A and B are shown apart, each in its own frame.
Chain A
Amino acid sequence: MTRKHYVATAATFVVLGLALTGCTAAEPAATADADSATTSTELDAATITVYTSEPQEKIDAIVAAYNEEQPNVTVEVFRAGTGDLTARIEAERTTGDVQADILLAADAPTFEGYAADDLLLAYTPADVESLNQDVVDPEGFYTGTRIIPTVIAYNTTAIDTPPTSWQDLTDSEYAGKITMPNPDVSGAAAFNAAVWMNTDELGEEWLEDLAANEPVIADSNGPVSQAVAAGTQPVGIVVDYLVRELQAAGSPIDVSYPSEGVPYVSQPVGIFASTDEEAASESFVDFLVSEAGQTLAVEQSYLPVRNDVGTPDGAPAMDDITILTPDLDLIAETKAAAVARFNELFQ
């Protein structure tokens, strides 16, 4: 360890710095046409914190597009799985105020719970009448931002006859070949567990049969889609947009919409009542469901919550899919029990 070593280290940092920042200019931020229906005025400088389970790249693109409209608002993002976010919010509630202004994650029942605890601010976004009314909270505490169905994905090189229904997955032919996300981590997985439990033709019996096939429980949807694409586990229960993305990138993966119907979550957005930046938070919510925000959602392979922005390449039209629309209050009530039962069976 000498002075020379020190110089070498300094050089290393220069290289590292160049490697990491040298090509930031090459980022073509996916931006939609900024002619949104609401001609918003530019807000003053403000900083808002968003807790989200969106994939990092997607939320970064959303923030970049939002900043095109509102350049003075700094958006700090904290990204984690829904389970981790709810744990963090819980911890922050017990020690003081929630540190975030906005939550963009999970499913309606999660938000119903927070609304019941008076944690959320009632806000109905501008342009609400253009949205799919199924995802808008009538009380105005949260608004869905995309339709995310959970489907069956399969590896096209390893599977010749893909499963076409949830019931098919209990067939012994798929024993040891299935992978699915962990409801403790993934909000969509927790929601799905409750929907399956409350769907007459599936229910607990179907879950038990599925568990008999010993699926691999991955942490979240991302690793599930990767395992299916790589062929590690050729069949997966996963959100549909990940499959479309991998397919577009060239992976041997395809999607099958189960005949009984698909559960979907809407990745709602809500504003925490403890926010100090009400105007900036509201403008962020407006942007998410605006025409510009939804055009970006479609570019990111999500099914949109408006019908004037088209659908992603390779996605079926909304009318062609059987959707499971359970009673959300029932789901909210039974979710914890369903997840507990799921964990007993699968872990």
Chain B
Amino acid sequence: MSSTPTARSAGPVVIDRARAPRPTARRRADGVDAVRIALWVVVAAVVLLPLGAIVWLAASDNHLPLLLGGDIAEAGLNSLVSAVSSAVGAVVVGTVLALLLDRSDLRGRRVLRLLALTPLLVPPFVGAIAWIGIAGPTGSVNALWAQWFGAPLWNIYGGDGVIFLLTVHSYPVAYIIVSAALRRIPSDLEQAARISGASAVRAVMTITVPLLRPAILSAFTLVAVGNLADFGIPSIIGLPERYVTLSTLIYRYIQSGTVESPLEVISTIGVVLLIVAAAAMVIDMLVSRSRWELDGSASADHILPLGVARLPLTVVAWVGVLAITLLPLFALLTQSLLPAPGVPLAWENLTLDNIVRATTMPATVTGAVNSVVLSVLAGVICGIVGLAIGTLVTRTDARSNTALRTVAMLPQAIPGLVIAVGWLIIAPRIGLFNTPWLILCAYVMAFVAIVVQAVSAPLRSTPMTAEEAARISGASRLRALFDISWRMALPAAISGATLVVLTAVRELTISVLLLAPGAQTLGVSIFSLQQAGAYNAASALSLIITLVGLAGLGLAARRAR
């Protein structure tokens, strides 16, 4: 979940005056009300039910003393520290990148922007596997360093490595949010400051950055909540050094039953995470309320000249971004092509065996098929439900609209881990225990918000005139909703659903907890190989997934031009 980009608008909220609620006379229930009730049933089943189960189970017995016990308190502290520090790092990197790539005359900005976004396409746990090859105890960089200076440079295992990798995998999200806000800030203000004698840097620091504050804060909360429960990175990078976070602790409890009544303890942790997530959501809402509106810019975008610093900054930015994007690929490549650990890197030792073996293993094929099927189904369901909710809450007046939207958006702020635990609790009672459909339910709950978000933005910004025209011509409310609103939002829904598919197909946190015979996903296949010590095979699969993701990005970028 930590690398899910969401098209959250960070700019000023535009209130469409044409849509101010009108006093409606009492009317008979019609098709729209039926749709609304149906949607409420759906969100109650896939969102409120699992959350309710967590809260109910946590409340069934008092486990609070346990939470204050050694293990959980330590894991909670680690989770908090790693989430907050990586979010700070991601926001700093993301903001600097946004200023450099969108506002300055850095050389090669366009290509660099694409490169800088690549960590979004690499699932975090794959990044972890790759970085072990670079900065693990016997990784390439450390091996070289030890040859020259007699000691390794930096061992990625442990808390510092977890924070570093979480930062690497979440700065693109921060960059996207900040850069969207930056586009809405007219450069006239900066111009005015420059005319009054401020230096370029001072103009940016005193005018632009303060105006970005709401976007920065919302990027921070989003990234921090996402990173709070990432599972792949802390389990692959943290555990070898005994650095335990809440997510890895929960996984261990579920898998090995090392505590009495693990589900109750886990749901108590889940409730604590829920409270944290809810608090983050509230902060985010308060911040977005206090946003100020800026008039659109009258002049063309103004580029900030870097002057003397242009060359050094270009070099630094390129080196940094290339290191973060190409080094892991190189590490995955070498790990995939070497037959076994400890074999020196030389031409005669390279072999394609690992790649062939990893891709032809029945477990991998099953995992890949499961992942594709589950993520496409999740995309279709989220697309339909999300489109219906999005149109209903933006194009009709009802008192329950805000509540419906909030419930649908809620899971976005909830760590995937908690979502999985919720479904784990209710699974035996709804007969889905040990089936892949459980993973599908969790995916729908986790990702429906992506589509609601995607369709809300364009619908909000178009006036109601088309629907009104349809009503005047005699269409029922439902017909107007179907024929006009849905049609308008369809492209947005399709792109939202695509994003759901792309997110779900490489997902690990949810599926690793809902693992069952015959219900393993691609992410779990790679994770299991890594756990079993088949590092070369895990790297080979990771490499393939990464290259496919990058190829997809390349295609998308080519077409977008």
Residues of chain A whose beta carbon lies under 8 Å from any beta carbon of chain B: 1-9, 11-13, 15-17, 19-21, 23-24, 26-27, 49, 51, 55-57, 60, 63-64, 76-81, 83-84, 86-88, 90-91, 95-96, 99-100, 155, 157, 184-185, 216, 218-226, 229-232, 242, 246, 249-253, 347
Contacts and interface: CB of A to CB of B under 8 A. Distances in A.
A246 B501 CA distance: 38
Contacts of A13: 372
B342 A155 contact: yes
Interface in B482-522: 491-492, 494-496, 498-499, 501-502, 505, 515-518
A90 B257 contact: yes
Chain A's interface: helix, strand, loop or mixed, by majority?
A: helix
Chain B contact residues, majority secondary structure: helix
A8 B533 contact: no
A1 B498 contact: yes
A222 B545 CA distance: 23
A205 B144 CA distance: 40
A17 B369 CA distance: 8
A224 B533 contact: yes
B370 to A, nearest CB: 11
A9 B504 CA distance: 13
A345 to B, nearest CB: 15
A219 B531 contact: yes
Which 4 interchain pairs have the tightest Cβ spacing?
Answer: A222-B533, A1-B495, A12-B552, A249-B340
B492 A1 contact: yes
Contact of B138 (A12, A21, A220, A230): A230
B551 A15 contact: yes
Contacts of A185: 256
B495 A79 contact: no
Given A5-B559, A86-B257, 16 more contacts: A2-B560, A3-B491, A4-B560, A9-B501, A15-B552, A16-B548, A17-B372, A21-B365, A49-B518, A76-B517, A79-B528, A84-B255, A99-B434, A219-B531, A220-B531, A246-B340
B357 interface: yes
B447 interface: no
Given A8-B555, A20-B359, A56 B365 contact: no
Interface string B353-386: 0001101111111001000100000000000000
Given A7-B559, A249-B340, A250-B343, A56 B548 contact: no
A2 B340 contact: no
A63 B361 CA distance: 12
Contact of A1 (B359, B454, B552): B454
Contacts of A231: 138, 342
Contacts of B193: none
A4 B491 CA distance: 11
Contact of B556 (A9, A78, A79, A223): A9
Contact of B529 (A4, A56, A242): A56
A56 B532 contact: yes
A330 to B, nearest CB: 24
B185 to A, nearest CB: 23
B342 A49 contact: no
Contacts of A223: 531-533
Interface of B: 7, 136-138, 239-240, 242, 254-258, 339-343, 349, 356-357, 359-365, 368, 372, 428, 433-434, 454, 491-492, 494-496, 498-499, 501-502, 505, 515-518, 528-529, 531-535, 537, 544-545, 548-549, 551-552, 555-556, 559-560
A91 B255 contact: no
Contacts of A27: 360
Contacts of B534: 55-57, 222
Most chain A beta carbons < 10 A, residue from B496, B549, B559: B559
Nearest to A53: B532
A251 B363 contact: no
A241 B499 CA distance: 44
A214 to B, nearest CB: 12
A71 to B, nearest CB: 15
Contacts of A232: 136-138
A87 B255 contact: yes
Contacts of A8: 552, 555-556, 559
A56 B529 CA distance: 8
Contacts of B535: 226
A228 B423 CA distance: 40
A226 B533 contact: yes
Given A224-B533, A246-B340, A6 B498 contact: yes
A12 B551 contact: yes
B433 A95 contact: yes
A219 B517 contact: no
A60 B341 contact: no
Contact of B517 (A5, A49, A83, A253): A49
B148 to A, nearest CB: 17
Contacts of A63: 362
A4 B339 contact: no
B156 to A, nearest CB: 12
A60 B362 contact: yes
B552 A11 contact: yes
- Looking at A5, A20, A95, A242, which has the most chain B CB atoms within 10 Å of its CB? A20
A251 B342 contact: yes
Nearest to B253: A87
B138 A1 contact: no
B517 A9 contact: no
Contact of A26 (B138, B356, B434, B516): B356
A195 to B, nearest CB: 21
A84 B372 contact: no
Contacts of A218: 240
Contacts of B364: 20
A66 B23 CA distance: 72
A88 B424 CA distance: 13
A225 B340 CA distance: 11
Contacts of A100: 517
B556 A246 contact: no
B341 A229 contact: yes
A112 to B, nearest CB: 20
A218 B560 CA distance: 47
A12 B554 CA distance: 10
A64 to B, nearest CB: 8
Given A6-B494, A84-B256, A60 B531 contact: no
Q: Which of B256, B494, B534 has the most CB of A within 10 A?
A: B256
B368 A20 contact: yes
A226 B530 CA distance: 11
Contacts of A220: 531-533
B524 to A, nearest CB: 11
A12 B517 CA distance: 28
Given A16-B368, A250-B349, A229 B494 contact: no
A56 B354 CA distance: 14
A80 B360 contact: no
A75 B382 CA distance: 33
A76 B505 CA distance: 22
Given A78-B516, A221-B533, A250 B339 contact: yes
Given A99-B434, A99-B517, A253-B342, A19 B363 contact: no
A95 to B, nearest CB: 5
B373 to A, nearest CB: 11
Contact of A77 (B7, B499, B517, B552): B517
Contacts of A19: 359, 544, 548
Nearest to B379: A9
11 contacts: A6-B494, A12-B549, A13-B372, A17-B372, A56-B532, A63-B362, A78-B516, A79-B528, A81-B531, A83-B255, A246-B342
Residue from A100, A185, A216, A230 whose CB has the most chain B CB atoms within 10 Å: A230
